[in-house]
């Protein structure tokens, strides 16, 4: 499972011109589910996202996690995170999980984060989405449950 984490001042996602998810200060999380991902991958990504100390404290140092900062999350499914462009110019998505299994794991990840008492908004799985955000910093981190990077 791969994720791109962006610290944001605000973010929203629209499907067919209608806002389906929006947050104020917090994290915008793009998630790509890969073939073979399991509960262990969900635990890893959820734990990292919840525990990342990337919000400023009173001195402006990155010492606070999402709970400490009273932030929210917008979680967007993005299968293109599994794209492989090492050969040629057209991405291969062979590593991406099949849609129904990917939906199941994506929803489990969202629920794993929600049960921690965090406000979590989402996009619409498999929909064409427009995502708008105001990055804060910018702070952007890459996560990979298989620790390939």
Structure tokens at 19: 């806002």
Given the residues 6, 55, 79, 122, select the one marked as catalytic: 79
Question: Can 125 be counted among the known catalytic residues?
Answer: no
Cβ neighbours of 100 (radius 10 Å): 9
Choose, from 18, 78, 122, 125, the residue flagged as catalytic.
Answer: 78
User: Which of these is catalytic: 55, 80, 93, 116?
Assistant: 80
Q: Is 79 a catalytic residue?
A: yes
Q: H or E element: which one contains 43?
A: helix 39-51
The two structure tokens encoding residue 138: 């910018």
Tokens linked to 94: 């062979």
Active site residue 6: no
99-114 vs 39-51: helix crossing angle, rounded to 10: 40
**Catalytic positions, written as ranges:** 78-80
């Amino acid at each position: 499972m791969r994720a791109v984490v962006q610290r944001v001042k605000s973010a929203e996602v629209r499907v067919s011109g209608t806002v389906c998810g929006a947050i104020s200060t917090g994290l915008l999380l793009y998630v790509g589910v890969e073939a073979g991902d399991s509960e262990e991958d969900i635990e890893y990504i959820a734990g990292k996202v919840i525990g990342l100390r990337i919000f400023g404290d009173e001195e402006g140092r990155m010492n606070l996690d999402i709970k400490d900062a009273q932030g929210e999350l917008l979680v967007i499914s993005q299968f293109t995170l599994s794209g492989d462009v090492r050969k040629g110019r057209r991405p291969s998505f062979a590593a991406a999980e099949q849609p129904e299994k990917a939906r199941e794991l994506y929803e489990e990840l969202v629920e794993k984060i929600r049960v921690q008492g965090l406000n979590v908004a989402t996009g619409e799985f498999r929909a064409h989405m427009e995502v708008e955000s105001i990055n804060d910093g910018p702070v952007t981190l890459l996560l990979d449950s298989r620790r390939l990077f």
